[in-house]
Amino acid sequence: MFPGRRRTSEPAQDEDDFSGATLEFLDSLYGAALRLTRNADRAQDLVQDTYLKAIRARGRYTTGSNLKAWLYTILHNTWRNRQRDGARSRVSFDSAVVEEAAEGASLGPSGHVESPETLLLRATIDADLQQALDALPESFREAVWLRDVDELSYQEIASVLGVPIGTVMSRLSRGRKQLFLLLTVQRQRHGSV
C-alpha cells in the first residue's frame, strides 16, 4: 500500500504510489462501470473520468480508509450526475416503486425454497447468474454486489450509493431475494435437479 502522506520529501514517489494503488482496482471499477452503463465505450469513459477525479481529489482521501470504497464512491457519484444531467431521455425507475414491487414477490411454495443451497449452486451456470444479475434493478444489484462480492462494509456501501444504512440493508435483502427467485426460476426452466 502507498504511504498516503502528501508533500513529503518525495511527493512524486508518493503520488506514483497513489496512482499505482488506485490502479489495482481498475478491473473492479471497470466491472462496476459495465454493470451501470451496460456498454463498453461508456464504461471506459466512466472509469477514465473516475480516475481523473480521484487523482485530483487525492488530498481528500483519508489514509487507512478503504481506497476501493472511495473510488467506488467517486464512480457512482459520477454516474449519478451523468444520469441526472443526461440530455437523453432514459427509462428511469423510481427505486421506491421497484423496491415495493420486489417486496410483493412471493418466494413460492416451500417445497422449492427449502432445497439446500448446494443444489442451486450446482445447478446455476455462469450465464444464468449473469442474466439474473442483469435483470436486477440497478439499486439492488449494486447493493448485493458491493456487499457479497466486494465485501464493503454497510457504512461504505451507504456512502458509495449515497443512501442511509437502513436503505442499504433493505436493498440488500430484497436484492438477494430477487436474485434467488430468478435463479430458482432458471433452474426450473432448465429442468435440472
Partner 1 sequence: MTCKDIADKLATVAEGSATQGDAAVVDEHVASCDACRQMLHAQVTARTVLRARAAQLAVTAPPGLRTRIAASARAERSEAKGLLSWRGRLSAFAAAAVLMLSLGAALLPVVTERSTVVLAAQLALDHLKCFIIDGDASGPPISKAEAEAIVQRDHGWSANVPASTEGLELLAVRHCLYGDGLAAHVLYRAEGQPVSLFILPGLARPAAELSVLGHDEVVWSHGDRTYMLVSAAGTKAGLARVASYLQNEAK
Which residues contribute to the site for partner 1 (CB under 8 A)?
12, 15, 19, 23, 26-27, 29-31, 34, 40-41, 44-45, 47-49, 51-52, 55-56, 86-88, 107, 110, 113-114, 117, 120-121, 124, 126, 129-130, 133, 144-145, 147-149, 166, 169-170, 172-173, 175-177, 179-181, 183
CB of 88 to partner 1, least distance (A): 5
In angstroms, what is the minimal distance from the CB of 113 to partner 1? 5
Nearest to 17 by CA among 65, 60, 53, 67: 67
Classify each residue of 74-110 as buried b or exposed e, where b means 16 or more C-beta atoms within 10 Å of its C-beta. bbbbbbeebeeeeeeeeeeeeeeebbeebeeeeeeee
Instruction: Quote the least distance from Cβ 11 to partner 1, whole Å.
Output: 9
CB 25 within 8 A of CB 67: yes
Minimum distance of partner 1 from residue 115's CB (angstroms): 9
The one-letter amino acid at 112 = H
Q: Which is nearer to partner 1, 95 or 154 (CB)?
A: 154
Report the residue number, 24 or 162, with the smaller CB distance to partner 1. 24
Residue 42 CA, chain-centre distance (Å), reads 16
